[in-house]
C-alpha cells in the first residue's frame, strides 16, 4: 500500500499573521475590486479554505489580511491596513491557494509600489515588518491627535484610520491632562494656526505613511473628500444610460432582418421611359389559344414584355393550364417560366399594389379551380410529393419537367412575397422614394390576403400559417425518408423545403414589421406562440434530430431561429422530465439553466438505457419518446433545476486533496460511491494533490465492489492514467488484488497492457496467474468487438441539443445585440457595471429591455472572469467528438476567454 507524505501547511511558512493570529483563522477584507463576479470568486475561495470574510466599507480592527485589486488605493481599508501593519495582498494569493488546497506564503503576493520592480522600496511592506517584529505597534504610535473635521462621516472615518495605527484620538475640547501632539483639521483654516500643537491637514497621514510616493494618493483623497457620496451627476448618468440603451434596443428591434437588394434593379412600370404599352396588340391571342396554337401565343407575349405592359391575365392563365395538364413540350415550359419571371421583373406589384396586385392575384392561382393563391401553393406541394390531396386530379405519374415547373411556380410565388417584404424594409430604410410604399396598410399586400383573414391579423399563427408549418414539416420528412441516395438528391433538387422555410421567414418578418412599432408585447407573444406550435408539430410527427436541427439552422430570419430553437429545446427537455422554466430568455438562463439541462438530459438517457442496448440493436436517431421515459421520469426529476440537491461535503477536500469519492473508494463504501456517481456533473477522474484518481484508490485498497461501480459509470474512468509510472492496473497487482486486475482487463482488453511497461505481468507471482490475466485481456478484446460504443447511443440526442444551444447563443447575440465594451453605449455600460452592482445600476429603470441588457452584460463579465463556461461543462459533453458539440464548446470557449461578443448587424 502506498505511503504518502502529508503536505506541509503553507501557513507554517513565513512570518505568522499579525496581531497574535498565528494558528488562528485568517480574517479577510476586500477593497478596490469593482467587478462583482470577481469579488464573489475571491470570497468563495476564502471561505473554501477556512478563512473568514468581513464585508462592509469600514476597516475592521480584527482583520488580518486585505485583498486589493492592484497598486495603492485611496480607500479607508487600504490606508488603515497599512497603518496597522496588516497583510495587503493581490487576489492571486487566494486563487493560487485554492489551487494548492491550502494557504500559501504571503510575501510573493504582497502589493508593490511598482509592477515592473516589486523589490523596490515598498512602504506597505516596511510598516508590516516593523509591526511584525514588535519594534512598533502601529504607524501612528505615540500620537495624541486632536481631530477637527466638520463632516461627521469623514470624522469617524479618520478616527478609525488613526486608531488602526495605534494613535489616541480626541475630539475638541481635549481633556486638560492630555498633551496633544498633532492637530488634524479638515478644512484647515488660518485660525487653527498656533493651536496647542502643530496643525496638519488630513493628507499628512498619507505623507507619513508613504513619504514621497504619496502625491497621487493625496490628490485623490482631496477629490474624494469633495464628493464623499454618490452625487446627483452620477444618478443622472445612470438615467442617461437607460435612455441610450433604450434607443439602441429600439433601433435593433425595428431594423430589418431580411433584405433583398436584387429587387432594387426591378423596373418601375410607371416611369417616364415606359411608353410601349400603348402600342401592344393582344387581339390575336384569344384566337391562337382557341386553335391550340399555344406556342405561337406564348411567343407573341414574349415579344411584348416591357415595363408597364401587362398581357391579359386570362390568356396567361390558359397557357398555364395547358402546361399543368402535362401536354406541353419542355421548350414551352421553359419559355412560360421566362415569361412569368419577366412579368414580375418589369411590373413589380409592390410599387403600386392597388393597380398590379389584382392582376397577379388572378394569375397566381390554379387556372382550373380558381380558389386563390394559398390553395395553389398546397396543390404545388401535394403534386410534387405525389399526394392525392390536390384541388383537382392532376396528370400522373409526374414527369421531371412538370415537377420542375411546379417548383419554379413556387419559386415565383416566394419571389413575389419577398418583393412585398422588401418594399416595407426598403421603404423604411429610405431606399424607395415616392409612391408612399411604406405607408400602405397591411391589407394592400398579397402576403396579408394570403395568410390572414380580417379576424386573424393580431397573431402570426393564422390558419394558413399553421398549414404552412405543417407542409414544411411534411416536406422535410419527405426529402429525407427515402434510403436511395439518388432519389433523395432528386427530391432535394426541387428545393421545396428550402422555399417553404424561406416563405415562413418572410411571413413572420412581414407580420412583425407590421406590428412591432405599435405593440411590442403582442409581437413577443405571437412569436412565442408560433415557435411553440413549430415545436409541437415536429414533436407530434417524430422528426429526427438531424432533420430538426437542419430545419432550425436553415431559417434565414434570426428572429424566427431564436424563438424556434428556444421552444424546441424546452419541448425536448419537457418531454424527458426536465423543467427549465418559462421565464424570459436571457444569457444567464442559457448558461446556468439550459446547459445543465442538456447535461442531465444526456445523463438521464445514459442512465435509463445502460445495459438495455444489445450489440445487435440498431442505434436510434429519433427523439426520445415520452413512453420510453415513462418509468424513469421521476429519477430525472430529482435532478431538475430547483430540486437538485448536491451535499456540500462532496466538494470539500482534505489536506491531501482527496474528495469524498476518494475516501469512499479507499473504505470500499460502494453505496456511497454509487450515490456520488449518480449526481449530475460528477467527474469520475478527479485527482487529489498527488494525481491519484478514485479508481487508483479502489485498486490500491482492494475495493472490488467500488471498482465495479466505477467501471459501470458512463463515461467510464480513464484506466491509462498513471502517477509516477503506477496505473490502476499496476496498483492492483502491486498490492496482490488479482480479482481487480482481471476485472480491469476484461473491461479494457489487451490494449490496457500496451499502456503499461513490459514487466507488468511479471508482478504476478505464478505462471497460472499470468495466464489468467492474459485470458482476461482476451475476453475483454472479444467483448469490445461486439460492443456498441455507448457514446453512439446518446450522440444523436447530444448533437441535436448542442446544435440548438449553439443556435440559441449565436441568434441571441445577433438579436439582442450584446454590447461590446469598446462600442457605445457598451463602453458606458461596462464602466457603470465596474463601479456599481447590477442592482445599483438598474435601480429606478423602467424599461425591462434595458434591465435585461444590463443583466446580459453582468453575465458576460461573469463568463470572462471565470464565473462559468467550460469549467462547468460535464466531462460527458467535453469529451464528445460530435461536430455540433465541438461547435458549442467553441462558442463557450469564446465567451469564457473574451467575456463579450462583438456586436454584429442583424441578418
pLDDT band at 377 (very low <50, low <70, confident <90, very high): very high
Please report the pLDDT score of residue 20 as a whole number.
38
CA distances 849 to 215, 244, 567, Å, are 44, 12, 20
Let me know: does 323 contact 336? Beta carbons within 8 Å: yes
Task: Answer yes or no: are the C-beta atoms of 404 and 492 closer than 8 Å.
Answer: no
pLDDT exceeds cutoff 70 at 554? yes
Task: For strands 27-31 and 65-68, give the pairing.
Answer: parallel
Q: Is the pLDDT of residue 153 over 80?
A: no
Confidence of residue 618 (pLDDT cuts 50, 70, 90): very low
Per-residue pLDDT of 337-348, as tens digits, reads 888 988 888 888
Q: Is 195 left (phi over 0), alpha (psi -120 to 50) or beta?
A: beta
Tell me the pLDDT band of 120, cut-offs 50, 70 and 90. Answer: low
Report the pLDDT value the prediction gives residue 236, as an integer from 0 to 100: 39
Instruction: Indicate if the pLDDT at residue 425 is higher than 80.
Output: no
pLDDT of residue 9: 33
Q: Hey, how many other C-beta atoms are within 10 angstroms of the C-beta on 241?
A: 20
Whether residues 174 and 123 share a domain: the answer is no
CA distance 779 to 141: 80
User: What integer is the mean pLDDT of 54-60?
Assistant: 83
CATH of the domain at 752: 1.25.40.20
Same domain, residue pair 63 and 189: no
Residues 716, 678 share a domain: yes
Report whether 604 contacts 631 (CB < 8 A): no
Confidence of residue 113 (pLDDT cuts 50, 70, 90): low
pLDDT of 632: 34
Integer Cα distance of 404 and 449 in angstroms: 27
The reply to whether 50 and 172 lie within a common domain is no
CA angle 146, 150, 155 (to 5 degrees): 60
Domain check: are 62 and 155 in the same one?
no
| Residue 481 phi, psi dihedral angles, 5° rounding | -80, -20
Give the per-residue pLDDT at 801: 86
Compare 215 and 16 and report the one with higher pLDDT. Answer: 215
Over residues 269-294, mean pLDDT? 68
484 φ, ψ (degrees, to nearest 5): -70, 125
**Residue 146's beta-bridge partner residues?**
170, 183
Which pLDDT belongs to residue 760? 64
- Residue 731 pLDDT: 87
Dihedral of alpha carbons 363, 366, 367, 372, sign? negative
723 to 4, 204, 731: CA distances (angstroms):
13, 59, 10
* H helices present in 166-312, as ranges: 204-210, 215-226, 232-254, 285-290, 294-302
Asked whether residue 562 is domain-assigned, the answer is no
Beta-carbon contacts of 550 under 8 Å, excluding residues fewer than 6 positions away, are 476
Q: Is the dihedral of CA 781, 786, 790, 792 positive or negative?
A: positive
Q: What would the pLDDT profile of 212-260 be if each residue is shown by its tens digit?
A: 555 444 544 444 444 443 443 344 367 777 888 888 877 777 666 776 7
Q: Quick one: 127 and 74 in the same domain?
A: yes
pLDDT single digits (tens) 761-804: 666 667 888 888 888 888 888 876 665 445 555 677 788 888 89
Residue 773 maps to a domain: yes
Q: Which residue has the cell 479554505?
A: 49
Q: Is residue 727 part of a domain?
A: yes
pLDDT level of residue 757 (50, 70, 90 thresholds): low
- pLDDT at site 762: 63
pLDDT of residue 814: 81
Q: Is the pLDDT of residue 609 over 70?
A: no
What is each CA distance from 788 to 88, 106, 611, 752, 783, in whole angstroms?
Answer: 58, 54, 11, 19, 10
Q: Do residues 743 and 780 both lie within one domain?
A: yes
Model confidence at 23, pLDDT cuts 50, 70, 90, reads very low
- Residue 44 within a domain: yes
Instruction: Give me the number of domains the chain comprises.
Output: 3
- Do 96 and 195 fall within a single domain? no
Beta strands 27-31 and 52-53: pairing type? Answer: parallel
Query: For residue 307, is it within any domain?
Result: no
30 and 64 in a single domain? The answer is yes
State which residues form the domain around 109. Answer: 10-133
* Same domain, residue pair 177 and 90: no
The yes-or-no verdict on residue 444 having pLDDT over 70 is: no
Per-residue pLDDT, averaged over 86-106, amounts to 91
Could you say which of 226, 243, 259 is where a domain stops?
226
Split at pLDDT 50, 70, 90, the class of 86 is: very high
Q: pLDDT averaged over the chain?
A: 76
Q: Is residue 182 part of a domain?
A: yes
Q: What is the mean pLDDT of residues 348-356?
A: 71
Residue 369 in this model has a pLDDT that exceeds 90: no
**SS3 for 644?**
coil
Q: CB count, 10 Å around CB of 307?
A: 19
129 & 38 share domain: yes
Same domain, 771 and 656: yes
* Interacting residues of 688 by C-beta distance below 8 A, sequence separation 6+: 653, 656, 657, 658, 659, 662
Look at residue 691 and tell me whether its pLDDT is greater than 80. Answer: yes
Which of 738, 771, 786 is a domain's end point? 786
Amino acid at each position: 500500500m502506498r505511503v504518502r507524505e502529508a503536505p506541509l501547511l503553507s501557513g507554517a511558512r513565513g512570518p505568522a499573521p499579525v496581531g497574535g493570529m498565528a494558528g488562528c483563522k485568517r480574517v479577510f477584507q476586500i477593497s478596490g475590486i469593482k467587478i462583482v463576479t470577481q469579488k464573489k470568486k475571491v470570497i468563495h475561495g476564502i471561505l473554501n479554505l477556512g478563512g473568514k470574510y468581513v464585508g462592509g466599507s469600514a476597516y475592521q480592527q480584527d482583520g488580518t489580511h486585505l485583498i486589493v485589486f492592484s497598486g495603492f488605493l485611496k480607500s479607508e481599508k487600504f490606508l488603515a491596513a497599512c497603518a496597522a501593519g496588516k497583510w495587503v495582498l493581490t487576489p492571486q494569493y487566494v486563487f493560487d491557494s485554492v489551487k494548492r488546497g491550502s494557504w500559501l506564503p504571503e510575501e510573493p503576493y504582497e502589493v508593490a509600489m511598482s509592477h515592473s520592480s516589486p523589490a523596490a522600496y515598498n512602504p506597505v511592506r516596511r510598516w508590516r515588518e516593523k509591526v511584525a517584529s514588535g519594534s512598533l505597534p502601529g504607524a501612528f504610535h505615540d500620537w495624541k491627535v486632536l481631530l477637527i473635521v466638520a463632516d461627521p462621516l469623514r470624522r469617524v472615518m479618520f478616527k478609525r484610520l488613526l486608531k488602526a495605527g495605534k494613535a489616541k484620538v480626541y475630539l475638541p475640547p481635549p481633556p486638560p491632562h492630555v498633551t496633544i501632539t498633532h492637530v488634524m483639521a479638515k478644512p484647515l483654516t488660518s485660525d487653527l494656526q498656533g493651536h496647542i500643537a502643530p496643525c496638519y491637514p488630513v493628507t499628512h497621514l498619507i505623507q507619513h505613511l508613504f513619504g514621497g510616493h504619496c502625491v497621487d494618493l493625496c490628490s485623490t483623497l482631496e477629490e474624494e473628500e469633495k464628493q464623499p457620496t454618490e452625487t446627483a451627476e452620477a444618478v443622472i448618468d445612470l438615467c442617461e444610460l437607460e435612455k441610450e440603451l433604450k434607443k439602441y434596443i429600439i433601433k435593433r428591434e425595428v431594423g430589418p432582418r431580411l433584405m433583398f437588394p436584387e429587387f432594387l434593379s426591378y423596373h418601375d412600370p410607371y416611369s417616364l421611359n415606359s411608353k410601349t404599352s400603348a402600342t401592344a396588340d393582344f387581339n390575336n391571342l384569344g384566337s391562337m389559344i382557341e386553335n391550340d396554337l399555344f406556342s405561337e401565343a406564348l411567343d407573341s407575349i414574349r415579344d411584348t414584355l416591357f415595363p408597364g405592359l401587362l398581357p391579359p391575365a386570362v390568356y396567361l392563365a390558359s397557357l398555364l393550364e395547358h402546361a399543368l395538364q402535362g401536354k406541353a413540350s419542355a421548350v414551352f415550359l421553359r419559355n412560360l417560366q421566362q415569361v412569368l419571371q419577366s412579368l414580375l421583373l418589369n411590373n413589380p406589384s409592390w410599387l403600386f399594389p392597388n393597380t398590379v396586385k389584382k392582376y397577379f392575384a388572378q394569375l397566381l392561382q390554379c387556372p382550373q379551380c380558381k380558389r386563390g393563391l394559398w390553395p395553389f401553393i398546397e396543390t404545388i406541394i401535394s403534386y410534387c410529393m405525389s399526394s392525392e390531396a390536390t384541388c383537382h386530379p392532376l396528370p400522373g405519374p409526374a414527369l421531371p419537367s412538370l415537377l420542375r415547373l411546379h417548383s419554379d411556380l413556387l419559386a415565383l410565388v416566394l419571389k413575389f412575397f419577398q418583393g412585398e417584404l422588401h418594399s416595407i424594409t426598403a421603404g423604411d430604410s429610405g431606399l424607395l422614394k415616392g409612391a408612399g410604399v411604406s405607408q400602405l396598410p397591411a391589407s394592400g399586400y398579397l402576403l396579408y390576403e394570403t395568410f390572414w383573414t380580417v379576424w386573424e391579423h393580431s397573431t402570426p399563427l393564422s390558419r394558413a400559417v399553421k398549414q404552412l408549418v405543417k407542409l414544411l414539416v411534411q416536406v422535410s420528412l419527405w426529402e429525407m425518408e427515402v434510403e436511395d441516395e439518388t432519389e433523395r438528391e432528386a427530391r432535394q433538387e426541387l428545393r421545396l423545403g428550402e422555399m417553404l422555410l424561406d416563405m415562413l421567414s418572410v411571413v413572420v418578418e412581414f407580420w412583425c414589421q407590421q406590428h412591432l412599432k405599435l405593440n411590442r408585447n403582442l409581437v413577443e407573444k405571437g412569436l412565442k406562440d408560433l415557435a411553440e406550435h413549430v415545436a409541437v408539430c415536429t414533436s407530434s410527427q417524430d422528426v429526427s434530430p438531424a432533420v430538426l436541427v437542419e430545419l432550425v439552422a436553415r431559417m434565414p430570419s434570426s428572429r424566427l431561429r431564436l424563438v424556434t430553437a428556444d421552444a424546441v429545446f424546452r419541448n425536448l427537455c419537457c418531454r424527458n422530465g426536465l423543467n427549465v422554466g418559462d421565464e424570459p430568455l436571457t444569457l444567464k438562463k442559457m448558461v446556468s439553466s439550459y446547459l445543465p439541462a442538456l447535461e442531465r438530459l444526456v445523463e438521464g438517457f445514459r442512465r435509463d438505457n445502460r445495459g438495455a442496448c444489445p450489440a445487435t440493436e440498431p442505434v436510434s436517431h429519433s427523439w426520445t419518446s415520452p413512453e420510453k421515459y415513462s418509468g424513469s421520469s421521476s429519477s430525472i426529476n430529482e435532478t431538475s433545476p430547483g430540486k437538485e440537491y448536491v451535499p456540500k461535503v462532496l466538494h470539500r477536500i482534505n489536506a491531501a486533496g482527496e474528495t469524498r469519492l476518494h475516501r469512499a473508494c479507499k473504505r470500499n463504501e460502494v453505496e456511497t460511491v454509487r450515490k456520488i456517481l449518480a449526481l449530475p456533473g460528477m467527474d469520475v477522474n478527479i485527482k487529489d494533490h498527488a494525481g491519484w484518481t478514485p479508481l487508483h484508490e479502489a485498486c490500491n485498497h482492494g475495493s472490488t465492489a467500488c471498482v465495479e461501480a466505477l467501471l459501470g459509470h458512463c463515461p467510464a474512468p480513464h484506466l491509462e492514467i498513471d502517477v509516477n509510472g503506477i496505473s490502476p492496473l499496476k496498483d492492483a497487482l502491486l498490492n496482490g488484488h488479482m480479482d481487480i486486475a482481471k476485472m480491469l482487463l476484461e473491461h479494457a482488453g489487451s490494449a490496457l497492457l500496451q499502456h503499461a511497461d513490459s514487466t507488468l505481468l511479471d508482478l504476478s507471482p505464478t505462471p497460472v496467474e499470468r495466464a489468467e490475466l492474459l485470458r482476461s485481456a482476451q475476453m475483454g478484446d472479444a467483448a469490445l468487438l461486439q460492443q456498441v460504443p455507448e457514446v453512439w447511443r446518446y450522440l444523436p440526442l447530444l448533437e441535436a441539443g448542442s446544435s440548438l444551444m449553439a443556435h440559441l447563443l449565436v441568434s441571441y447575440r445577433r438579436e439582442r445585440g450584446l454590447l461590446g465594451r469598446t462600442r457605445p453605449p457598451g463602453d458606458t455600460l461596462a464602466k457603470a457595471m465596474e463601479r456599481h452592482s447590477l442592482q445599483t445600476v438598474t435601480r429606478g429603470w423602467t424599461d425591462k429591455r434595458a434591465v435585461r441588457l444590463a443583466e446580459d452584460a453582468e453575465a458576460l463579465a461573469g463568463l470572462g472572469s471565470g464565473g462559468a463556461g467550460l469549467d462547468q461543462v460535464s466531462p460527458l459533453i467535453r469529451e464528445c467528438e460530435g461536430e455540433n458539440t465541438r461547435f458549442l464548446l467553441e462558442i463557450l470557449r469564446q465567451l469564457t476567454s473574451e467575456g463579450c461578443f462583438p456586436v454584429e448587424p442583424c441578418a
